[in-house]
Amino acid sequence: MMPNLPASPPWTNAAQADRRDLRGMFGTFLTGVTVVATRDDQGTTRAFTANSFTSVSLDPALVLICLAKGAGSLEAFCTAAQFSINILTDDQRDLSSACATAGPAKAAALAQLVPDPVPHVADALATMICTTEQLVDAGDHVILLGAVQKYRCGSGRPLGYFRGRYVGFGLALEHLEDMGAPLVVGGLVDWQGKVLLCRRPGSPHWALPQTALPPRSGHAEALRLLFARLGIAAAPAFLYSVYQEPGAATTTMIFTAPLAHPLPTGATAEGVELGFFDADSLPWPQIAGDMARGLLRRFFQERQVGRLGLYCDSAEGGSVIAVTWPPQPWERWSDSLPAPQPQSV
């Protein structure tokens, strides 16, 4: 028997579609963001924001960008001999927004560009200086084909654009790194019986804050950096769970990380959504992973009875050992143990 598959959405005739609906469909393609700049025949800096950038050829080095025919800078770019394409970082959203509009904000943004013969963004993720190779008429846009003369790469994380909104890639890039990392560390951040969960931009799933453990790095430092980026005033206290999701190539270690102060919820600068949930409000169907769901259920149950356990995954179904809470400093624990007996030789 054929499995019951979810119903496919209906087709829409593109020629008859509402333009906003068609734009929304195009917007489901996640892109980077660029600012394209040149000078007009009066020497005035002109620029626009575009996510329609494509590399075309390596030999020769060719790229293209699309410019709306209704753009105020259309003539300047169609007659320019050279232009720059600047791939933006995730902290250049204001520049992107300013160059996508007209008015004082755009004038201020243009004044910040490097005033070379071909104006460009000083600290972009990458910048290409191009000569105009060809103009192609394409519906309500003009395709500007450029031959790359020189380029340079900066540093930072890319700025993304998805369904009409900016997307930060800070944790999304780490999620890609997680796929090849043998060990992932995370934090069970709780505040008055509620657990902090994160949702990456564009993802339907909630998860505990976690990150790949880089080679030769300690878990405490990796979690400290992760918490700092999320704006979390917490530190790992004690190992709570070690497990491997079925089919996953990584082992996950989750550490308790109680909060000293409440944390505002909402979205971070990278677009990561944060939320505190108790057992009743937690979106269980949207938690990715059977082991992660089991961890959260166990935590809420253990909180009710006032004791925690350390869980270790195994082929037999896993084991839990009860631990006292709160954890004690090593010196105090060591002093409570009987003195070691001398060993006979």
Reported confidence tier of residue 338, pLDDT bands at 50, 70, 90:
confident
Q: Which residue has the tokens 């950038």?
A: 53
Q: What is the rounded distance in angstroms from the CA atom of residue 130 to the CA atom of residue 148?
A: 4
Pairing status of strand 82-87 against strand 62-68: unpaired
pTM value? 0.54
Separation between Cα atoms, residue 17 and residue 296, nearest integer Å: 45
Written out in words, the top-level CATH class of the domain with range 171-321 is: alpha beta
- What DSSP state is assigned to residue 290? H
pLDDT band at 169 (very low <50, low <70, confident <90, very high): low
Checking if the pLDDT of 97 tops 60, the result is yes
Q: What is residue 137's predicted lDDT score, i.e. its pLDDT?
A: 96
Q: According to the per-residue pLDDT averaged within each range, which of 86-100, 266-280, 311-325 is highest?
A: 86-100
| Peptide bond preceding 119 in cis form (omega within 30 of 0) | no
Among 64, 125, 77, 70, CA closest to 102: 70
Closest CA to 172 of 153, 183, 157: 157
Asked whether the predicted pLDDT for residue 113 surpasses 70, the reply is yes
Domain spans in the chain, listed from the N-terminal domain onward: 19-162, 171-321
- Region class of 192: left (phi > 0), else alpha (psi between -120 and 50), else beta: left
* Contact assessment for residue 299 and residue 258, using Cβ atoms and an 8 Å cutoff: no
Judged against a pLDDT cut of 90, whether residue 149 lies above it is answered with yes
Residue 207 has pLDDT above 50, yes or no: yes
Report CA torsion sign: 292, 298, 304, 309. Answer: negative
How far is CA 4 from each of CA 7, 8, 10, 265, rounded to the nearest angstrom? 9, 12, 18, 38
Contact 308, 323 (CB under 8 A): yes
pLDDT for the residue numbered 245: 85
Give the pLDDT score at 18.
84
Question: Rounded to whole angstroms, how far apart are CA atoms 258 and 234?
Answer: 6
Percent of the chain beyond pLDDT 70? 89
C-alpha span between 109 and 106 (Å, rounded) = 5
Q: What letter represents residue 185's amino acid?
A: V
Assess whether pLDDT exceeds 50 at residue 179: no
pLDDT tens column, 17-71: 888 888 888 988 889 999 999 999 999 999 999 999 999 999 999 999 999 998 8
3-state class (DSSP) for residue 56: strand
Q: Under CATH, which number does the domain 19-162 receive?
A: 2.30.110.10
Poorest-pLDDT segment among 44-53, 134-143, 161-170, 260-269: 260-269
> Residues 260, 234: contact at Cβ < 8 Å?
yes
136-145, 170-179, 187-196: which has the minimum mean pLDDT? 170-179
The reply to whether 171-321 shares the fold of 19-162 is no
* 3-state SS assignment for residue 335: helix
pLDDT at 130 over 90: yes
Q: What is the tens place of the pLDDT at every residue in 237-265?
A: 889 999 988 877 788 999 999 887 766 66
Residue range 287-328, pLDDT digits in tens:
988 899 999 999 999 988 888 889 898 777 788 888 776 677
